């Protein structure tokens, strides 16, 4: 059997898992690996002759059939992939940022060169979601996605909830355990999840979503008091990546914290687990859950993509047609101010007669109905914390409320998922 030859760019955690796992398959062979430092000690033994510190040695090697890019970031990864495609190579990547920002250009080039780009590992680690959406669910009109796509933030929020701890304390612990980077911005500010939902929404809706139109908000302002209040009211707080599309191709795609009802399955996805809930017709509702990161879970998705190419290699002139990009339209972006949501507000207000009535009156003036309003105790400075849950209302109206509550401090404003 002629082996399909693989060039690997990146031998970090995932790359090492791919190298170890592919050894058991006799129809594929990793012939060259690009690394930053050839002499660096590694957890995997690799013959020195397979290593190079120049990725162009791989993308320009005529003997290599598939380039697997696991380095991340847009540049220089984009130039490596672009060069590889122009040289007639198929691509497997886990690069969610590149897909979100350069996806349209990437897939147009791939089609022009009659090559495939597979990226199962880029969205939810070891959870198979891209291939099911493109194949088994291809006959569905998917109109809604709600997902937990970042293990770091889910770990932090779970620990805050379980331990009654502050964001700062849990972040420090997560960094010590290796769950969070030294610079956690990409995770905790929602960038990672935003990259992923951009691509997932695009393929699910068959209409391209632009990354710059995705609303993004992180978890850095979530307080332990919010966790406690949410629990008392029957919710858990999660960083949710969501996307909906209507019959007019208007797409509302965003990432932000939400109060998730305890009756909803996503409320019980804890620590580093990821989960994707998909709604459509005729399937109805399905949920995919599992490890969203890690050496072998993510390597599993990368290997699956490699083997999908290997199975069809040299059997057809047009590999994996169902996995190719065929978007002919771009979704109309919905601005966050024009969306309707339920809201949780935590307000510190003077402990005075009529304060709650004033809050209710200001909300009524903006056509906002209240589902609940609760005051718990009085502090030493004669202020009270008031918790409000609204009915569904316009985002820009709730922002106006925040500006009109004079003499009150808004501690938190978090959207609420409907049950």
**Residues assigned a catalytic role:** 196
CB-based contacts of 181, cutoff 8 Å, min separation 6: 152, 175, 187
Both tokens assigned to 342 = 């339920």
Query: What is the rounded CA–CA span in Å between residue 390 and residue 52?
Result: 58
**Length, in residues, of the chain:** 419
Pick from 161, 350, 332: which is nearest to 250 by CA?
A: 332
CB-based contacts of 72, cutoff 8 Å, min separation 6: 10, 94, 95, 97, 98
Cα–Cα distances in angstroms (integers) from residue 316 to residues 4, 138, 313, in the given order: 15, 22, 7
The tokens 């316009």 sit on which residue? 394
CB-based contacts of 75, cutoff 8 Å, min separation 6: none
The tokens 């966790």 sit on which residue? 227
Cα–Cα distances in angstroms (integers) from residue 368 to residues 342, 365, 392, in the given order: 10, 7, 8
Phi/psi at 189 (nearest 5 deg)?
-95, 5
Both tokens assigned to 55 = 């990725």
Query: What is the rounded CA–CA span in Å between residue 123 and residue 301?
Result: 10
Both tokens assigned to 347 = 């307000």
Helices 96-112 & 191-205, crossing angle to 10 degrees? 40
- The burial class, CB within 10 Å (0-12 / 13-18 / 19+), for 315 is exposed
Both tokens assigned to 387 = 């918790």
Query: What is the rounded CA–CA span in Å between residue 336 and residue 215?
Result: 7
DSSP state letter for 330: B
């Amino acid at each position: 059997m002629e082996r399909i030859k693989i060039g690997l760019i990146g031998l970090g955690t995932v790359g090492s898992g791919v190298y170890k796992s592919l050894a058991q398959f006799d129809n594929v062979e990793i012939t060259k690996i690009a690394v930053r430092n050839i002499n660096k000690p590694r957890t995997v033994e690799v013959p020195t002759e397979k290593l190079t510190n120049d990725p162009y040695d791989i993308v320009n090697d005529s003997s290599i059939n598939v380039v697997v890019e696991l380095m991340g970031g847009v540049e220089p990864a984009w130039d490596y992939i672009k060069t590889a495609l122009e040289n007639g190579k198929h691509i497997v990547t886990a690069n969610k940022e590149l897909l979100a920002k350069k996806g349209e250009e990437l897939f147009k080039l791939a089609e022009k060169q009659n090559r495939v780009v597979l990226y199962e590992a880029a969205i939810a680690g070891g959870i198979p979601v891209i291939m099911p959406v493109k194949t088994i669910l291809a006959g569905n009109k998917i109109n809604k996605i709600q997902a937990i796509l970042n293990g770091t933030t889910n770990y932090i929020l779970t620990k805050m909830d379980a331990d009654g701890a502050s964001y700062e304390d849990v972040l420090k612990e997560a960094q010590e355990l290796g769950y969070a980077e030294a610079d956690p911005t990409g995770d905790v500010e929602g960038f990672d999840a935003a990259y992923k939902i951009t691509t997932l929404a695009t393929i699910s809706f068959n209409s391209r979503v632009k990354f710059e139109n995705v609303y993004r908000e992180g978890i850095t302002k979530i307080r332990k008091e919010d966790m406690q209040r949410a629990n008392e009211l029957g919710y858990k707080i999660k960083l949710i990546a969501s996307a909906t599309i209507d019959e007019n191709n208007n797409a509302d795609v965003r990432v932000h914290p939400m109060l998730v009802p305890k009756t909803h399955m996503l409320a019980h996805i804890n620590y580093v687990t990821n989960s994707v809930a998909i709604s459509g017709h005729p399937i109805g509702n399905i949920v995919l859950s599992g490890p969203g990161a890690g050496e072998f879970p993510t390597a599993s998705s990368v290997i699956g993509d490699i083997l999908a190419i290997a199975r069809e290699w040299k059997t057809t002139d047009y590999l994996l047609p169902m996995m190719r990009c065929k978007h002919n339209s771009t979704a109309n972006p919905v601005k966050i101010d024009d969306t309707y949501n339920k809201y949780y507000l935590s307000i510190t207000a003077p402990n005075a007669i009529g304060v709650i009535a004033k809050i209710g009156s200001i909300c009524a003036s903006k056509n906002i109905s209240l589902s609940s309003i609760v005051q718990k105790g009085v502090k030493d400075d004669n202020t009270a914390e008031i918790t409000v849950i609204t009915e569904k209302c316009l985002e820009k109206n709730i922002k106006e409320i925040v500006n009109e509550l004079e003499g009150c401090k808004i501690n938190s404003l978090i959207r609420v998922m409907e049950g």
